[in-house]
Amino acid sequence: MSSEDKPPEQPEQAPVPLQLHEPVYPHGHNLPEDLIAQWVAIPAEERLYIGSLPRASLDQFLFSIGDIAAAIGNLRAGFIAYSQGQMGAADRHLQNALTRLVDGESRNRILFEEMIRSAIEVRKNAGK
């Protein structure tokens, strides 16, 4: 291979120092402990019926899909920015990904809380 065929040598770049800091986690929706206790007291093999739910509760599931898709998009953008050495942009994208993921998870928990409450109410009304 002649010197004309070789790409020009790039000067060696100093490694980018990592700025290690505690990540900031957004707060999501948590199920109340008393509700969890009631839920786990129901035998796992018992068939449950869920009563009526407001449409707004079901909307939570629909919106959670959008939040999780946005989280994946932000994660991708963060990796691209990181690979291009854009640490500030990478950090912002990754923080946005985490926020959207927590939002999506919270929406699912809100829906499941409504479903659990409804199942417990139906079960109570059936005398169990």
Give per-residue pLDDT as tens, 29-45: 889 999 999 999 999 99
Q: What is the number of H-type helices and E-type strands within the chain?
A: 3, 0
Q: How many CB atoms lie within 10 A of CB 29?
A: 16
Domain boundaries, the chain: 53-125
CA angle 40, 43, 46 (to 5 degrees): 125
CA distance 15 to 44: 53
pTM, two decimals, is 0.72
CA distance 72 to 93: 10
What does the mean pLDDT of the chain come to?
Answer: 87
pLDDT of residue 73: 97
